Amino acid sequence: ITGGRLDIGIARGAYSYEYQRLFPGLDAWGAGQRMREMVPALRGLWDGDFELSGEFWSFPPTTSSPKPLQAPYPPIWVAARDPNSHDFAVANKCNVQVTPLASGDGEVASLMERFNTACEAHPDIARPEIMLLMHTFVAEGAADADRLARDLSLFYCQFGAWFQNKKPVHQGILEPLTEDEIAAMPQYAPDKIRQNLVIGEADEVIARLKAYEAQGYDKYSIWIDSGLSHERKKKSLRLFIDRVMPAFQAGSR
């Protein structure tokens, strides 16, 4: 369908809310172990007539159909945070996707260090690619940037409560946080969000992305899920296309 424009992204999941519904009793460690058994199994299924008798997955000879167009396989990206996950991804010839969430540029640099350490531990394997995922919004001006920071502050407070399974969910929506609950999460205050996420006018966004490129990141992924309206997201993407992307085109340096 896509002529080979397919990459596969795999992650263990994050929310206990998810685990309770998909596999009661599962935790992050167990999810990670199952994911690690799945990665080589995917390639086996693409090769065909692959059988598995593993710790978590078992099935008789099986073949994926249709076969992938890419040779030998579609690129696999593994979401990684801790050093062991980086090491697993590199050892299994997978690309790596990382996100600092709202921890800022110090965590961006630390994630790159973990990736570099994993690459150094496997000198016989060609260096895979690494992708950075961050909430990114291009603002029309200072007031727009401040508004984005306030809205994303609320998003991250909700995100933190959902991640920790702290609030009830009704009809798929997390119960709104109280002002006291929001105040109890100063790490997501608007000024912190403004500093730690990629929010700003085009020149500011370009500078941040150039710094990440200089650190060695191969690809950059915009995290746009945020509770903002469709129109605001669309406006930011248009500003990104028109004012940011030209700075990264061939011959722009």
* Mutual angle of helices 105-121 and 202-215, in 10-degree steps: 20
**Residue 195 near residue 153, CB atoms below 8 Å:** no
Q: Give pLDDT, residue 156.
A: 94
pLDDT in tens, the chain (253 residues): 788 899 999 999 888 888 888 899 999 899 999 999 999 999 999 999 999 999 999 999 999 998 899 999 999 999 999 999 999 999 999 999 999 999 999 999 999 999 999 999 999 999 999 999 999 999 999 999 999 999 999 999 998 888 777 788 899 888 999 999 999 999 999 999 999 999 999 999 999 999 999 999 999 999 998 889 999 999 999 999 999 999 998 766 5
Global confidence as pTM: 0.92
**Residue 153 near residue 189, CB atoms below 8 Å:** yes
Q: Give pLDDT, residue 252.
A: 62
Q: Give pLDDT, residue 251.
A: 62
Count of beta carbons in the 10 Å neighbourhood of residue 216: 13
Q: Please state, in angstroms and rounded to a whole number, the distance separating the CA atoms of residues 180 and 167.
A: 14
Q: Which CATH architecture has domain 75-138+202-248?
A: Alpha-Beta Barrel (3.20)
Q: Give pLDDT, residue 2.
A: 84
Cross-strand pairs, 131: 97, 219
